[in-house]
């Protein structure tokens, strides 16, 4: 999981309208994701955007701006227990990095709160400031 949904489950007090999932697939294989969503009762809205059966949105990401390749980032992803599942989430520092590199208005708007929570998280976990 990446983006602000990954930030939320790591303690950033924000909200988001979709869950970003980075998939290690070539974009031309998006039909596999569409089939998966359809089997769960969801529907495709655009090649990367899907509405699940409960109305929540999932956005599949094929490449992330400003980050290393999937395998390199996955290796350092945080493992968390969420909804009874063990999942890998992009650490807050890497989310910050990708948002800064994307530099769209909506990404830039998230940088201040991400920065504050990264600092607070370090204090809470007893890590010294860099």
Partner 1 sequence: MLKDWKKVYRKIRGMRGLSEGEKIMIARSLAATPDERWRMHENFLRSHGLFSHWQRKASGFKW
By the rule CB under 8 A, 83 interacts with partner 1? yes
Distance between CA atoms of 8 and 89, rounded to whole angstroms? 10
- Residues in 37-56 that interact with partner 1 by CB under 8 A: 45, 49, 51, 54-56
Is residue 111 a contact point for partner 1 (CB under 8 A)? Answer: no
Nearer to partner 1, 9 or 23 (CB): 9
Residue 14 CB, nearest distance to partner 1 (Å)?
Answer: 8
Give the C-alpha distances (Å, rounded to integers) separating 4 from 38, 45, 85, 127.
25, 20, 19, 23
Locate tokens 């996955």: which residue? Answer: 74
Cβ atoms of 25 and 47 within 8 Å: the answer is no
Residue placing its CB nearer to partner 1 in the complex, 51 or 66: 51
Given a contact cutoff of 8 angstroms between Cβ atoms, the answer to whether 20 and 59 are in contact is yes
Rounded to a whole number of angstroms, the minimum distance from the CB of residue 4 to partner 1 is: 9
Judge contact between 92 and 12, C-beta under 8 A. yes
Q: Which of 2, 10, 21, 22 binds partner 1 (CB under 8 A)?
A: 10
Residues that bind partner 1 (CB under 8 A): 8-18, 45, 49, 51, 54-57, 80-83, 116-117, 119-121, 123-124
């Amino acid at each position: 999981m990446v983006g602000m949904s990954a930030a939320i489950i790591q303690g950033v007090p924000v909200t988001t309208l979709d869950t970003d999932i980075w998939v290690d697939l070539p974009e031309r294989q998006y039909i596999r994701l569409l089939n998966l969503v359809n089997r769960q009762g969801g529907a495709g809205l655009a090649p990367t955007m899907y509405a699940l059966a409960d109305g929540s949105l999932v956005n599949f990401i094929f490449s992330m701006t400003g980050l290393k390749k999937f395998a390199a980032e996955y290796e350092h992803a945080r493992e968390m227990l969420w909804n009874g599942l063990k999942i890998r989430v992009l650490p807050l520092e890497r989310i910050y990095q990708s948002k800064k590199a994307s530099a769209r208005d909506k990404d830039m708007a998230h940088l201040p709160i991400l920065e504050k929570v990264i600092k607070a998280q370090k204090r809470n976990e007893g890590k010294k400031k860099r």
